[in-house]
Structure 1
Amino acid sequence: MSYTEIQPAAAAAPPPAGLRAGALGFPALLAQSVALISPTMTAALIIPLAFASAGSGTWMAYLFGTGMLLFVAFNLNQFARRSTSPGSMYAYVGRGLGPVSGVLSGWTLLWCYLFIGIAGMTGFTIFGRELLSLMGIHTAIPSVVFFVVLGAIAWALAVKDVRLSSMLTLALEGISVLCILALAVVVVFAHGIHVDTAQLSLHGTSARGMSLAVVACIFSLVGFESATALGGEARNPLRNIPRAVVWSLVIAGLFFVVMSYVEVYGTRNSSATLDTLAMPLNTLADLESVGYFKFPIDLGATISFFALSLSCLNAGARLIYPMARHSLFPAPLGKAHAANATPAPALTAYIVLMVAVPAISSSQTDVLTIFNDAGTLAAFGFLLAYFMIAVAAPMYLRKLGDLTRRATLISALAFVFLLVPTIGSFYPLPPWPINLFPYLFLTYLLLGAAWLYLSTRRHPGILTQIETDLESPA
Structure 2
Amino acid sequence: MLDHGAPPATDPSPAKTPGLGTRLMRRKPVERLVAEGGQGEGGMLRRSLSMWQLTMISIGATLGTGIFVVLGDATPLAGPAVAISFVIAGLTALFSALSYAELAGSIPVSGSSYSYSYATMGEIVAWICGWCLILEYGVSVAAVAVGWGEYLNELLDGTLGTTIPESVSAPLGEGGFINLPALVVILLAMVFLMRGAKESARVNTIMVVVKIVTLVIFCAIGFMGIKAGNYTPLAPLGVTGISAAAATLFFSYIGFDAASTAGEEATNPKRDLPRAIMLSLLIVTALYCLVALVAVGAMPWQDFEGTEAALAQIMKDVTGHSFWSVVLAAGAVVAIASVVFAVLYGQTRILFAMARDGLVPKVFAKVDARTGSPRANTVIVSLFCGVLAATIPLGELANATSIGTLFAFGLVNVAVVILRYTRPDMSRTFRVALFPATPILGLLFCLYMMFSLPGVTWAVFGGWMIVGVMFYFGYGLRRSRLATAEK
Give the alignment's TM-score, normalised by structure 1: 0.86
Q: Does 1:180 align with 2:215?
A: yes
Residue 298 of structure 1 deviates from its aligned partner by 0.9
Task: Indicate whether 1:341 and 2:364 are aligned.
Answer: no
Maintained 8 Å contact 2:368/2:374: yes
User: Quick one: which of 459, 479, 484 aligns to 1:439?
Assistant: 459
Aligned counterparts of 2:433 and 2:312: Cα–Cα separation in 1: 49
- Match in the other structure for 1:408: 436
Give the whole-Å Cα distance in 1 for the aligned partners of 2:241 and 2:432: 36
Q: Name the residue aligned to 1:122.
A: 146
Map 1:42-61 to 2 at 5 A: 42-61=66-85
Asked if the contact 2:260–2:273 (Cα under 8 Å) also holds between the matched residues in 1, the reply is yes
Q: Confirm or deny: 8 A CA contact 2:432 2:438 kept in the other structure.
A: no
For 2:198, the equivalent position in structure 1 comes to 163
Moved more, 204-213 or 280-289: 204-213
What SS does the corresponding residue of 2:42 show, helix, strand or coil?
A: coil
Of 180-189 and 307-316, deviating more is: 180-189
Q: Corresponding residue for 2:232?
A: 198
Contact 2:230–2:296 (Cα < 8 Å) also in 1? no
Q: Choose the corresponding residue for 2:283, options 227, 242, 251.
A: 251
Answer with 1 or 2: which has the greater Rg. Answer: 2
1:424 aligns with 2:452: yes
Kindly indicate whether the alpha-carbon contact (under 8 Å) linking 1:123 and 1:302 is maintained by their aligned counterparts in 2. no
Distance 1:439 1:47 in 2: 27
Gaps in structure 1 of 5+ consecutive residues: 7-13, 363-369, 427-434, 469-474
1:467–1:423 Cα change, 3 Å: farther
Q: How many residues align?
A: 436
| CA distance, structure 2, for counterparts of residue 322 and residue 420 of structure 1 | 30
Aligned CA RMSD, in angstroms, stands at 2.5
- Matched-pair contact (CA < 8 Å) for 2:78–2:85: yes
Specify whether residues 354 and 467 from structure 1 end up closer, same or farther in structure 2 by C-alpha distance, changes over 3 A only: farther
Partner of 1:309: 340
Partner of 2:422: 399
Aligned-partner residue type, residue 147 of structure 1 = A
Equivalent position to 1:213, from 245, 260, 275: 245
Judging changes above 3 Å, is the alpha-carbon distance between structure 1 residues 116 and 133 closer, same or farther for their aligned structure 2 residues? same
Structure 1 contact 28–170 (Cα < 8 Å) conserved? yes
- The answer as to whether partners of 1:336 and 1:343 remain within 8 angstroms in 2 is yes
Please, which of 126, 134, 159 is the counterpart of residue 110 of structure 1? 134
Q: 3-state DSSP class of the match of 1:339?
A: coil
Q: 1:226-263 deviations in whole A, cap 9, x for unaligned?
A: 10101010111011111111111111111111112222
Residue 45 of structure 2 is matched in structure 1 by 19
Q: Report how far residue 452 of structure 1 moved.
A: 1.4
TM-score, length of structure 2 as denominator length: 0.84
Matched, 1:67 2:91: yes
Q: Name the CA shift for 1:20/1:453 in 2 (closer, same or farther; >3 Å).
A: same
- Contact preservation (8 Å) 2:230, 2:300: no
Corresponding position of 2:16 = none
Give identity over the alignment, percent: 19
Residue 53 of structure 2: which of 28, 36, 47 is its match? Answer: 28
- Structure 2: gaps of 5 or more residues: 1-30, 170-178, 426-430
Instruction: Give the equivalent residue in structure 1 for 2:24.
Output: none
CA contact (8 A) 2:185 2:337 kept: yes
**Cα distance in structure 2, aligned partners of 1:457 and 1:81:** 29
1:471 paired residue number = none
Cα 1:467–1:165 shift into 2, 3 Å: farther
Look up the SS of the partner of 2:56 in the other structure.
helix
The secondary structure found in structure 2 opposite 1:338 is: coil
Distance 1:397 1:178, change over 3 A: same
Distance 1:189 1:137 in 2: 28
Superposition deviation, residue 448 in structure 1: 1.2
**CA gap 1:195/1:255 in 2 versus in 1, 3 angstroms:** farther
Displacement of 1:443 after TM fit? 1.1
Contact 2:151 2:329 in 1 (8 A): yes
In the alignment, the residues of structure 2 paired with residue 425 and residue 56 of structure 1 have an alpha-carbon distance, to the nearest angstrom, of 25
- Which residue type is aligned with residue 412 of structure 1? I
Shift of 1:195: 8.1
Instruction: Report the alpha carbon displacement of residue 275 of structure 1 after superposing the two structures with TM.
Output: 2.1
Instruction: Indicate if the aligned counterparts of 2:57 and 2:205 stay in contact, CA closer than 8 A.
Output: yes
- Of 314-323 and 282-291, more deviation after overlay is shown by 282-291
Q: Give the C-alpha shift of residue 207 in structure 1.
A: 2.5
Checking the alignment, whether the CA contact within 8 Å between 2:230 and 2:298 is kept in structure 1 is no
Query: In 2, Cα distance between the equivalents of 1:327 and 1:464?
Result: 10
> Out of 76, 93, 104, which is 1:80 matched to?
104
Deviations 1:35-60 (A, max 9, x none): 1102x322211111111321222110
Higher relative contact order (CA 8 A, sep 6+): 1
